Structure 1
Amino acid sequence: MFEMVKASIVLFLRGRLFQNPNEVMRQLAIGIALTLVVFLLALKLAGLAPVIAAAVASFVGGAAQPALFRNLKFR
């Protein structure tokens, strides 16, 4: 199992894991931006404590990842 994870990380860092690395970076940026926006909204509008806002933003960002990465093709 560890070897599979290690091989995937090496392929990712070399840019050979996905067919279109630019699309992966775009989807990753969308996920990061979504998480940041949710965090800031939870802080400002909802008035939550930073720890609670981070937990909410992490949950939302993590839940969005399968939808964002659904159509990515591996090599």
Structure 2
Amino acid sequence: MKTGIAPGVKIRWIIKAFIADRIRKKYPNAAKRLQQRAEQYNRGVDLAEKYEAQGRVLIIAPDDTCGIDTLSKKPGM
């Protein structure tokens, strides 16, 4: 797994936190879930890695994305 923060990740997190704060009053549950999304994702990744170490699952994923943002929404990527 990569270490450190990819370019743009911190900005996206700040934007999501700002949006969550803005909608907190009208949609408190949605705001709470939005703020917890990254933690929940990381727990899922940790659990998958634990299961892989135990031989319970096989994770099929590239070790290196060759600098390509795997979450890109750009056509053709």
Interval of TM-score (by shorter of Structure 1 and Structure 2): 0.3 to 0.5
**TM-score when normalising by structure 1:** 0.37
**TM-score when normalising by structure 2:** 0.37
Q: Greater helix percent: which structure? A: 1
